[in-house]
């Protein structure tokens, strides 16, 4: 039997709000029942939902011809910016509304599209005013002008939603729930470029040390986002993991594409594989209820949930209150929840570490063919240089394949140690959170892949002589 349970929530028995009999416990147990009865696995989840649309959104800006910044603002530059702002706005809205339980009746997809159009339209005069008062390009525009982006999106929300914004409680509640998480995720646009600057300026030994420090940064960010999103319920884990791993995996794959030393590539890849295997070993050795065999824990949990209520109702509470068997059943379900929550985190990390380098490689293959690649410091070395492009694509492919070994190992551990299918588990998670994950990828991919474009003021030498010919 294939299981695909949804355990994104963090189950804490010691927390009264999550104790047996509470509303959260009943809700999560209900999700567990639905998940354990799901036997359908489709192989196309990751392709049709998470690769095509974000990749297309990242590639579109490369189609617009660009001229050197010294020639001023051109139509191609504005079309490039419009496409990035539109996709980033749509991605942010999709993720925000999914993570905070908006329904289509609360906020329709048509309204989201209208918001993106309004945000794009009002962005034009705003940026023109800034360029006329300051300079073009503005140094690190994606960072410096981010307040303008959020102002435009907020203004668009008022225009489109109007009175519902303050009369409908779901809007205020969702902003309150997700505000801190959003700020922490946006901070990555500063953190990872700073790491990239250090990485480009140090030698191979220091690069290896920096690579070992990278997981510590990711872990710290995940902990902060989890803490900030403690009221997001079942979305807490997926927001923390996806919100960090998509961005981090993309930056790490961009670093991999320019590593000059084969030895350095091997060491970096080896460290990543070892880290993945350690996480899997921790999962394999995780303590479970000693009264139940490891490979039967999910079968027992399913049996408990489908034969009688996990938490007795008011009329039967006294009858079962002192029942030792009932407490054992609660413990079995709790352990199943905790195991699957850990499995979800590991599988999502491995999933991103496999597909994100592939997405980056496909983008690189297409973007390097266009004239605008000359103005992007990450793509310029591959412009009309097929040998270097082929070498970079080989490194990314090898990196992705090695990360895939962790996925294979995780599948065998879950299948033979706990009796569940990692493929089905991941498929269920991707299906349940498809809007949230799609939104994150749609928002992050265009921004990060075009962050190093000269027209957006990216100059890691900090000279900001944009009138010079760099390439």
| pLDDT tens, position by position, 435-470 | 889 999 999 999 999 988 888 887 776 676 666 654
pLDDT in tens, 327-373: 777 777 777 777 878 888 888 888 998 899 999 999 999 999 998 88
Classified as helix, coil or strand, 289 is coil
pLDDT in tens, 282-319: 777 776 666 677 667 777 776 776 665 555 555 555 55
Q: What is the mean pLDDT of residues 12-34?
A: 45
Least Cα distance to 214 among 181, 261, 247 occurs for 247
Q: What percent of the chain has pLDDT over 90?
A: 15
Query: What residue ranges do the domains of the chain occupy?
Result: 16-456
pLDDT in tens, 54-100: 899 999 999 999 988 888 888 999 899 999 999 999 999 999 888 88
Helix axes 169-186, 236-256, angle to 10 degrees: 30
**CB-count exposure of residue 286 (10 Å: 0-12, 13-18, 19+):** middle
Q: What is the mean pLDDT of residues 144-169?
A: 88
**Token output for 141:** 């525009």
Q: What is the mean pLDDT of residues 236-249?
A: 88
Contact 444, 186 (CB under 8 A): no
Q: Give Rg (Cα) of the chain.
A: 24
Contact 62, 373 (CB under 8 A): yes
* pLDDT the model gives residue 307: 62
Least Cα distance to 414 among 428, 430, 425 occurs for 425
Q: Structure pTM?
A: 0.82
Contact 403, 353 (CB under 8 A): yes
Contact 189, 451 (CB under 8 A): yes
Least Cα distance to 298 among 341, 345, 335, 344 occurs for 335
Sign of CA dihedral 221, 210, 279, 252: positive
**Token output for 400:** 């992705």
Ramachandran area for residue 384 (φ above 0: left; ψ -120 to 50: alpha; else beta): left
């Amino acid at each position: 039997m294939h299981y695909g349970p949804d355990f994104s929530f963090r189950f804490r028995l010691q927390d009264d709000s999550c104790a047996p009999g509470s509303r959260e416990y009943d809700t999560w147990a209900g999700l567990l029942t639905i998940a354990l009865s799901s036997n359908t696995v489709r192989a196309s989840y990751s392709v049709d939902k998470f690769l095509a649309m974000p990749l297309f959104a990242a590639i579109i800006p490369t189609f617009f011809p660009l001229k050197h910044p010294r020639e001023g603002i051109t139509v191609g530059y504005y079309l490039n910016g419009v496409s990035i702002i539109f996709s980033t706005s749509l991605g942010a809205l999709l993720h925000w509304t999914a993570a905070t339980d908006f329904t289509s009746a609360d906020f329709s997809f048509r309204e989201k599209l209208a918001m993106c159009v309004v945000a794009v339209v009002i962005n034009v005069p705003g940026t023109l005013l800034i360029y006329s008062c300051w300079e073009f390009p503005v140094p690190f525009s994606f960072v410096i002008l981010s307040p303008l982006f959020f102002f435009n999106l907020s203004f668009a929300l008022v225009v489109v939603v109007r009175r519902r914004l303050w009369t409908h409680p779901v809007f205020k509640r969702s902003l309150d729930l997700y505000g801190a998480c959003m700020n922490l995720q946006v901070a990555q646009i500063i953190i990872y470029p700073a790491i990239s600057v250090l990485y480009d300026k140090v030698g191979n030994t220091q690069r290896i040390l920096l690579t070992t420090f990278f997981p510590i940064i990711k872990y710290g960010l995940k902990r902060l986002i989890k803490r900030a999103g403690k009221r997001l319920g079942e979305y807490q884990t997926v927001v923390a993991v996806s919100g960090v791993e998509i961005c981090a995996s993309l930056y790490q794959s961009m670093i991999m594409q320019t590593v000059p030393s084969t030895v350095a590539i091997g060491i970096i890849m080896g460290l990543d594989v070892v880290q993945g295997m350690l996480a899997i070993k921790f999962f394999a050795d995780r303590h479970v209820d000693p009264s139940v065999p490891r490979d039967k824990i999910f079968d027992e949990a399913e049996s408990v949930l489908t034969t009688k209520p996990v938490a007795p109702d008011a009329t039967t509470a006294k009858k079962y209150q002192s029942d030792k068997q009932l407490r054992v059943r609660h413990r079995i379900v709790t352990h199943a929840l905790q195991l699957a929550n850990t499995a979800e985190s590991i599988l999502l990390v491995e999933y991103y570490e496999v597909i994100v380098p592939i997405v980056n490689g496909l983008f690189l293959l297409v973007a390097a063919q266009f004239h605008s690649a000359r103005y992007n410091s990450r793509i310029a070395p591959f412009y009309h240089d097929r040998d270097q492009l082929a070498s970079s694509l080989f490194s990314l492919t090898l990196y992705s394949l090695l990360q895939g070994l962790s996925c294979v190992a995780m599948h065998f551990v879950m299948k033979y140690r706990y009796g569940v299918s990692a493929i089905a588990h991941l498929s269920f998670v991707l299906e349940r959170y498809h809007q949230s994950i799609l939104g994150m990828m749609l928002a992050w991919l265009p921004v990060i892949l075009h962050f190093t474009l000269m027209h957006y003021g990216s100059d890691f030498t900090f000279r900001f002589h944009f009138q010079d010919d760099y390439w």
